[in-house]
Structure 1
Amino acid sequence: MLIVRHAEFRDLDDIFILAEKSGVGLTSLPANREILFSRIERTRKTLLGECPRSEQGYLFVLEDIEDKRVVGVSAIEVAVGLSEPFYNYHVGKQVHACKNLNVYKILNTLFLSNDLTGSSELCTLFLDEAYRKNLNGKLLSKIRFLFIAAFHEFFQPKIIAEMRGYSDESGRSPFWDAIGYQFFNMDFATADYLSGVGQKAFIAELMPRFPIYVDLLSADVQGVIGAVHPHSKPASHVLESEGLRYQGYVDIFDAGPTLEAEICYLRAVKESQLLPIKLTNSTQQDGAPYLVANDTYQEYRAILIHSSLDAEYIELSHQQASLLNVEEGQKIRILPLNTTEQ
């Protein structure tokens, strides 16, 4: 049985193991115990109301309760770019025209941008490979939307998610080699790690301030701009099913796309329900998969169940109710795991 909850200090060793397994490109999950400890500490302080908005964030873990082991993580940043600059490239256009020569050409450009400053961000999604089955990935990703639906007043009107861009099996990024390396003189893995541990001053000091003409790049490099890493495509599809869309912003390191949406239009915000619990002695539950959560801010708990939903209540086994720390008659938040397109 798996359960999603807020990260706690006792999870540090397991989270560090996951960080080591995540490889190059997942900037927000560096294999650095001090940084990971600070992520957990920031979550605890956020829940206690002890952090300014610029530092607030939530780190969730997926725990296998039988093995007593954390097997996945996901996170939400409340407002990016308020304490340090948040950079990306805006993919735009410039028109070059000369009537006398009968020349009219539209050129794609990359322009360094801080346009998404202040947005809430979905980040740090990683699941142990052995658990990438039985809808576990969807549970870990989508539970963040259910949390936002319950506590939307803590977040910004816009939510974004930076998707991992293309890199090869050795961790090499064609986009970084073509652009970033020319200004930084360091490999992609080093730059990615420095950004992940908070050393971002070098970005502001060294990044080009003028538009980069995409047409001057090789075809291979142009082809990865806005492309999602093959391993991240399922995660991208999950976010798109919940209402996020690519709007022309890409990561400055690997050119992965940034997905974005207004929180008020997210499926979970519009369609999740609060229903009272009816306890059942049955351990066999059939029907469609549903996300269910206790809506307790500081002691948040969420699981995946299968149910033939009744319009007036939701059936839970005694074990499920115990995991969520809820009682019969208490209301819990529920949302179908899948959309009609999935």
Structure 2
Amino acid sequence: MAVWNGQVLWSFMVLLAGAVAQNVNYPVRPVCAMKGSTVTLPCTFTYKEIAEKNGRNVSMQIVRVLWCKNHEICQGTTPSVYDSESETNSRRFQYLGDKKGNCTLQISNVQMEDNATFRFRMEANVPVQNFTGKIGVNVTVNNNSKMRINSSSDAGETRGGETVTLRCTSECSFYPLAINWSKDGLILPESGPVLRIGPVTAKDSGNYTCALKNKPNTGCMPYSMQVKEAKADVNLPLIVGVVFGVLLAVITLILVFFIIRRRRVVTVDQIDVGGETEEKHRDYIYSNIMPSAELEEVYDRPQTSRAVEDVSYAAVQFKHNKQKRQMQEAEDSTVYSSVATQD
């Protein structure tokens, strides 16, 4: 049973692998290149992993890759620009791919003779599975095209602190890899199709140009960039001073308000304490202002008169401070009664 399951699994894998057909994909076509530039031809490929050979299924492997131009099959005695089995390939053609699925080719120092259609071919350990991508890539070589600069900044002045991106392009709409940048006639250390400057300052103002390396005749029209430095606000110190002064005035008024309020509270407390002391003093004087002779006369008077005087005395004391003097009146009445008793 296990053997049968293994056979079924193997057959399924063979069918699945056979369903994957050989194919070559050229993502970019056509390609426009300037003479003397470097271009890259992107390329990918797929192939069957299992193929039949001599009546049995074998694992397929790519053993040879080639690039040729102006030939639909790219095999046999057809001249190739790159052959993985050759040791005499031109240095201008560099294979950036592998034998697994990447077939990218780079052409440096493009010449007029490279104005052609380039095709990729793969050869496997099963000869019947060899395959060539017939569509190919059309390369057009332009000898008179001038470079031009596209900027990420709007025309006119550029504000300081911004980042500006300059792109060197050609009429072929293909970005060459080997580019020299110059500013005011002096070559910059940066290279490549893109130049990023930022954050820009006034010293970055000037005329920028780009050209293919070692090809000064491909230079473009200068791109003028004028950087306008951001000016500091001249009124800023005045505004800061005014704000600081207003805050200081507000804080001062708040402090004065609390100081005055505190003083008033202290004054009221002193008045309350002073008034109570004065009342005690007055009570003491009143209780001792009558001489002994008068006291005798008072005690000789009828009880009704004395009661009236007691009521008057109590009324006077109540008039001064009824609530605060209740305890003091009780003490004075005791003293007064004591004096009367001694008489």
Bucket of the pairwise TM-score, normalised by the shorter protein: under 0.3
Return the structure number with greater relative CO, CA threshold 8 A, min gap 6: 1
| Structure with the greater alpha carbon radius of gyration | 2
